[in-house]
Structure 1
Amino acid sequence: MKKILLIEDNPNVLLNTSRMLQAEGYVVITATNGRDGLEIAQQTIPSLIISDIMMPEIDGYGVITALRSNPATTAIPFIFLSAKSDKIDFRQGMELGSDDYLTKPFTRDELLGAIKAQFKKQEIINNYYRQELDNLRGNISKSLPHQLLFPAIEVMGLADILVKNYHAMEAHEVPDIGKRIRKAGRDMHEMVKKFLLYAELESMENVIDGNRQLRSSKATFVDIEISSCAKKIAENYNRVSDLQLSIQDASIQISDSYLNVIVKEVIDNGFKFSSEGTEVIVLGTSDANEYCLCVVDHGQGFEPEQIANFGAYIKFEKKLYIQQGTGLGLAIVKRLAEIHGGRIEIESIPYERTSIKVFLPIVS
């Protein structure tokens, strides 16, 4: 049953409107001033709020401002009631986050129509995010076990060799097997971290305060960070001579840790899917508004339809490359860029040239 909070200082309007809504099957909670209404809203979390504008204690503008700044109440549909019909008042209410605006006197049909419209909109939004969450859960449940299968098999196989054949092994063979087990374990650990990070980013995408906090972060010494990460990745692939660097410094609107995730995933992608002896070019440039990290390689690349369908858990890798990655790394980069007000652009001619550009806002 839908619960509606009605905030109105006129006793006649309050009584008549609450009776009308109760007759329609709604549970109605009332408050006679903005301060009480704000407290009740934060305590009860109603399905919808209807509020007068001109009220004692706190006016309607103050109520909606406080509610929209609280993560627990920021998404509650809000309808203003007002005797004023000026465009300025309407505009101010909508800019503060009101979902609708009715002028007094209003008819029964007008009020009920506005309420039903807000509940319908809320239902559509909830269904959309419920479906997105179901898709995310389904993708995780299907993809995570599959992608962990290969290193898990390797760990079990190598451990089995140690258990069954340790007595017949040469001294140098045991450390070699140990190193391979350690690498497979690290691969599993990295995969799990990626899935958990993506799930975290998905959950925070629509949390307003969380996004504001993220966008207040700042990364400095970007040239050192990118260069250091690129050289380390090139060393891991034994391809230091293939790396070409040209990095400008800047202050970017992102935390150091998230910048490191982006840099690592994009550069690692360039080395992972290109052949030894071919260049991997890493460029960092900036203008007055954006910083662009560009990684160019001459490897496998992406087909046009793969780029067009770029999203969560889409595997860019063809079957030949199935054991080399989950396809989740670039999805994480895309989500991080979007949350921070940036974007990712991919241009590719398969097996000729692939360019991945990540744009992030410059700190003003």
Structure 2
Amino acid sequence: MKRILVIDDEEWLREMIQLALRQKGYEVVEAENGAVGIEKARKILPDLILCDVNMEKVDGYRTLSSLRSEASTAAIPFILMTGLADNAGMRHGMELGADDYLPKPFTIDALYAAVEARLKKSQALRDEAEKKLADLRDNISMMLPHELRTPLNGILAYGEILAADAASLQPAEIAEMGQIIHESGKRLERLIENFLIYSQIELIGADPQRASALRKKQTAFPRKIVETRAALQAEATGRSADLKLDLSDKPVAISEDYLTKIADELIHNAFKFSKAGTPIQISLFPSELDLTLSIADHGRGLGTEHVRRVGAYMQFERKMHEQQGLGLGLVIAKRLTELHGGSLIIQSEQGVGTTVIVRLPLAMPA
């Protein structure tokens, strides 16, 4: 049985709503003002909240803001009821996180329609989140054991040799084994980091409030981030001479951490899947509405079907080419871009190379 919390300082209206909703099989809890409503919401965690806007002590907007600021109540569907449904008030309520408005006076049919629509949407979001988690578990169960064991086996094997035979080994041999252990550890670190980030962004994508909050972050100087990450990866692969940069600057609507992650993954792939001596061209340029990041290599490229099937835990042509990791880098970049209202396009031709184009919305002026 779905539980609905009704917050209104007019007793007769609460009684009317309660009777109507109970006839439909809902459990109804009443609160006579916003302060009481907040406490009851925290305690019972209802499936839906109906709240009047104009109340003494704590009005509907403050009630909504308070509940949206707490993790346990932030995702509860919230309908504001008001006799003053002007555009400014409705916009303010939506900015605070209201799911719908129910103008007073309303009919019983309008009440039923609003409640049922919100509950259905909430259930659909929960089903989507559960499906994504189920898919994630299935993919992890197939791919993760192998991907974890590969670097872990290297660490354990060479660690065992060093522990048992250090006295008989030459310094060069010890150094070589130490380097292999270090590289295996970094590979394991990257794998775990990508797994955690992918899990996080899939959950954010299923929560409209969290996704909306994500888009309010900004990076004032994206050029510096792209330039720094490109230089570091070029140096790490010994290919600084292959790096070609053409970068402009404009504030963009994404956090520095997530922009860094997108740049890291795409630049990493460009160096990883192309040969030394071939150029990596990275461009950053603004238009009227967005900022475009373009990363082009002259590597082996992807076929049309491979581009279409970009998905989580998918590695392309694994039997033909040795690869490391879960193949999550491109997917993480794509999902992060989409969560911020942008787009990621892959242009690729086998044997010619790949260009990845990321468009992110510009930051709104403060």
Match of 1:350 in 2: 350
Please tell me whether the aligned partners of residues 83 and 105 of structure 1 are also in contact (alpha carbons under 8 angstroms).
no
Which aligned pairs between 1:53-64 and structure 2 lie closer than 5 A? 55-57=55-57, 60=60, 63-64=63-64
Which aligned pairs between 1:170-319 and structure 2 lie closer than 5 A? 170-205=170-205, 206=207, 208=209, 211-212=212-213, 215-220=216-221, 222-319=222-319
Match of 1:125 in 2: 125
CA drift at 1:285: 1.8
Q: Deviations over 1:19-67 (max 9, x none)?
A: 4444554332112344533443344331122344555445556655655
Q: Deviations over 1:311-364 (max 9, x none)?
A: 322323532334334211112212322333332211111121210122233334
- Sort the Cα spacing of 1:231 and 1:214 in 2 relative to 1 into closer, same or farther, 3 A: same
Any idea what SS the aligned residue of 1:323 has? coil
Match of 1:150 in 2: 150
Provide the alpha-carbon RMSD of the alignment: 3.4
Any idea what SS the aligned residue of 1:183 has? helix
Q: Deviations over 1:132-167 (max 9, x none)?
A: 122223333433222122222222333344456555
The amino acid of 2:265's aligned partner reads: E
**Aligned equivalents of 2:73 and 2:251: distance in 1?**
34
Q: Deviations over 1:244-287 (max 9, x none)?
A: 22222333333333332222211110110112222221222223
**Aligned equivalents of 2:4 and 2:91: distance in 1?**
23
Match of 2:339 in 1: 339
> TM-score, normalised to structure 2's length?
0.82
**Aligned equivalents of 1:197 and 1:93: distance in 2?**
32
Seq. identity, %: 32
Match of 1:45 in 2: 45
- Sort the Cα spacing of 1:214 and 1:122 in 2 relative to 1 into closer, same or farther, 3 A: closer
Any idea what SS the aligned residue of 2:235 has? helix
**Aligned equivalents of 1:243 and 1:93: distance in 2?**
48
**Aligned equivalents of 2:235 and 2:125: distance in 1?**
47
CA drift at 1:125: 2.0
CA drift at 1:114: 4.5
Any idea what SS the aligned residue of 2:295 has? strand
- Sort the Cα spacing of 1:299 and 1:49 in 2 relative to 1 into closer, same or farther, 3 A: same
* More divergent stretch after superposition (148-157 vs 159-168): 159-168
Is 2:102 the partner of 1:101? Answer: yes
Q: Deviations over 1:82-118 (max 9, x none)?
A: 678x8969966985634363754634x6644553443
Q: Where does the alignment leave 5 or more consecutive residues of structure 2 unmatched?
A: none
**Aligned equivalents of 1:102 and 1:215: distance in 2?**
29
**Aligned equivalents of 2:352 and 2:216: distance in 1?**
36
Q: Where does the alignment leave 5 or more consecutive residues of structure 1 unmatched?
A: none
**Aligned equivalents of 2:19 and 2:269: distance in 1?**
63
Please tell me whether the aligned partners of residues 204 and 211 of structure 1 are also in contact (alpha carbons under 8 angstroms).
no
Match of 2:6 in 1: 6
The amino acid of 2:130's aligned partner reads: R
Match of 1:18 in 2: 18
**Aligned equivalents of 1:250 and 1:114: distance in 2?**
42
The amino acid of 1:208's aligned partner reads: Q
Please tell me whether the aligned partners of residues 279 and 298 of structure 1 are also in contact (alpha carbons under 8 angstroms).
yes
* More divergent stretch after superposition (113-122 vs 323-332): 113-122
- Sort the Cα spacing of 1:112 and 1:264 in 2 relative to 1 into closer, same or farther, 3 A: closer
**Aligned equivalents of 1:175 and 1:89: distance in 2?**
68
**Aligned equivalents of 2:35 and 2:168: distance in 1?**
80
**Aligned equivalents of 2:338 and 2:47: distance in 1?**
30
* More divergent stretch after superposition (177-186 vs 44-53): 44-53
**Aligned equivalents of 2:119 and 2:255: distance in 1?**
38
**Aligned equivalents of 1:83 and 1:276: distance in 2?**
68
- Sort the Cα spacing of 1:248 and 1:12 in 2 relative to 1 into closer, same or farther, 3 A: closer
* More divergent stretch after superposition (351-360 vs 110-119): 110-119
CA drift at 1:7: 2.8
- Sort the Cα spacing of 1:278 and 1:163 in 2 relative to 1 into closer, same or farther, 3 A: same
Please tell me whether the aligned partners of residues 187 and 325 of structure 2 are also in contact (alpha carbons under 8 angstroms).
no
